[in-house]
Structure 1
Amino acid sequence: MRPALRELDAAQSTDRRSVRTRSALRDALAAEIEETGDLSQVTVTAVSDRAGVTRRTFYSHYRDIADLVCQIEDETVRESHELVRRIADTRLSELQESISRFEPCPGGVELLTYFKERGTYLSALLGDGGDPGFAEKLTCVVRDAVRDRASEGLVPLASGAFFEYYLTFAISAEVGVLVRWLTSGMHESVEVMARIMTALMFVRPGDLYGRKIDFDIPAIGVGALATKGNPDD
């Protein structure tokens, strides 16, 4: 084997080993969170021992537990942003057609597949013993990805404060459903969960009780504008 090929083979082998080590450390982190019930109690020694590597190997990849957590979360936020953008680019006509067939929104399966493939450690970080701020990071990245697209074609009187609160409500709800699915064991398949999350965006409380509730969105928008600046009204 020529020297150049040997060097390339060695580099690829090192890279594969590094990927395996990082994966083992992430899974070990998740297991320690589950066992201790508190991320703040997880130590480098415990994670390294569970992953079957030395502390020196751990420190060759991460500065400490906080850095391990930060890198996982930053990677998740960065990679999921584009996946959410694909969903946000869906036209309302496409979405309506998907709902009428009880099919997932275009891009929904891909997004949930991403999270399920990483569910072992993401569920632990998003659970009760994990990082309380992680879900908020996901909420922020979703808002950043969908806000401009969601504001296109708005009924003028529904813009402003009402739209901002609606967007906060909708995004928080969808992220909450995602977290619930991840942390409760992901019993539903990706396809079924994608269909459910698509449909949930258009379910009104009365629909669950056989009572259709209609209201005038523009009128609510006008009402929100009218009370702006009058907190005592």
Structure 2
Amino acid sequence: MTAPAASVKVDRRSLRTQLMLRDALADALNDGEDLTRVTVAGLTDKAGLTRRTFYTHFKDIPDFVEQVESNILAAIRERIDAVVATDLTSLYENIDELEPAPGSVELLSYLKRNGRIIGALLGPGGDLAFAQRICAIACEAVEGRMKTGIFPGALGTFFNYYLSYVVSAEIGIVQRWFATGLVESPETMARLMTVIAFVRPGDLYGKPIDINVPEYGMKLLGLNVRAPRTAQTDTREDIDG
């Protein structure tokens, strides 16, 4: 059963209104305005809409920003899932053929298509928590896949920090891409990001280091590291004695 024509018209009008407000927010942030100072009046003026129209869709600015970010994050999560669905064997084959990881071009193309608002939210006047939310959904999406077939010695604390390191590094590359004006194509960035996760510092100097990660992880878990004592960690006995 198809939706009534009037309903379709309303939905399209609602979508158009939300896109106009989203563009107005991007313009405000890219013009140097801070997110904490964005007002409904200022936003609707930029969008050429009335405040009544705004309140038809949103409670206030935080609600509006939350809905904008949630829609973006849902789209990003869907595309990240496609990237992490590949296996290491396929990934190595792609690298040998100078091809990006499956799904990565689609993810980066989405980011570039929506670059005005995403770049604004990631920028200095945007939402500091937005990048953290991206990291969180990326970690959640990647964690299960990364643990498949992994050596037990690499799990635990070692793995948790490694996961944070990898995801934060990838997000950092994306932030730099935005900061430099999205000059490179999504295809170029996808190839770069596919390979860069496997690059070790020594590789750049022709002195690669060979670490037995599972063995190192097991040794790390077996360590009983005692934190150095400071004035804040002194016990009552130390003070009284």
TM-score by length of 2: 0.89
Equivalent of residue 183 in structure 1, options 179, 182, 187: 179
**C-alpha RMSD over aligned residues:** 2.0
In structure 2, the residue matched to 1:102 is 98
Q: Counterpart amino acid of 1:88?
A: V
Letter in 2 for 1:131: D
Of 127, 130, 133, which aligns to 1:134?
A: 130
Instruction: Give deviations 1:5-51, integer Å, cap 9, x for gaps.
Output: 9x822222222121111111101001111223411111111111111
Alpha-carbon distance between aligned partners in 2 of 1:205 and 1:94, rounded to the nearest angstrom: 24
Superposition TM-score, scaled by structure 1 size: 0.91
- The match for 1:22 is 18
Matched residues in 1 for 2:179 and 2:58: separation? 25
Larger radius of gyration: 2
Of stretches 165-174 and 112-121 in structure 1, the one that deviates more from structure 2 is 112-121
- 8 Å Cα contact 1:48/1:58 also seen in 2: yes
Larger CA deviation: 146-155 vs 32-41: 32-41
AA paired with 2:41? Answer: T
Aligned residues: 229
Deviation, 1:223, is 2.4
Q: After superposition, what is the alpha-carbon deviation per residue over 1:73-96, rounded to whole angstroms, capped at 9, x for unaligned?
A: 111222222211111111100000
Q: 1-side partners of 2:105 and 2:170: how far apart? A: 14
Q: How does 1:56-205 map to 2 (within 5 A)?
A: 56-205=52-201
Q: Tell me the CA shift for residue 228 of structure 1.
A: 5.0
Q: 2:231 corresponds to which residue?
A: none
**Percent of aligned pairs with the same amino acid:** 44
* SS of residue in 2 equivalent to 1:129: coil
- Between stretches 222-231 and 77-86, larger displacement belongs to 222-231
Equivalent in the alignment of 1:9: 5
| Deviation readout 1:59-111 (Å, 9 max, x if unpaired) | 11111111111011111222222211111111100000111122110010111
Per-residue CA deviations over 1:96-139 (Å, capped at 9, x if unaligned) read: 01111221100101111221221111110011110000000011
The 2-side partners of 1:93 and 1:228 are apart by 37
Unaligned runs of 5+ in 1: none
Q: Do the aligned partners of 1:162 and 1:220 also contact (CA within 8 Å) in 2? A: no
Secondary structure, aligned partner of 2:98? coil
Counterpart CA distance in 1 for 2:23 and 2:201 is 39
- For the residues of structure 1 that align with 2:34 and 2:50, how far apart are their CA atoms? 23
**Where does structure 2 lack aligned partners over 5 or more consecutive residues?**
229-241
Query: Could you tell me how far apart the structure 2 residues matched to 1:23 and 1:231 are?
Result: 52
Structure 2: distance between partners of 1:221 and 1:173: 21
2:49 corresponds in structure 1 to 53
Give the AA of the match of 1:155.
Answer: F
Please say if residues 36 and 42 of structure 1, whose CA atoms lie closer than 8 Å, have aligned partners that are also in contact: no
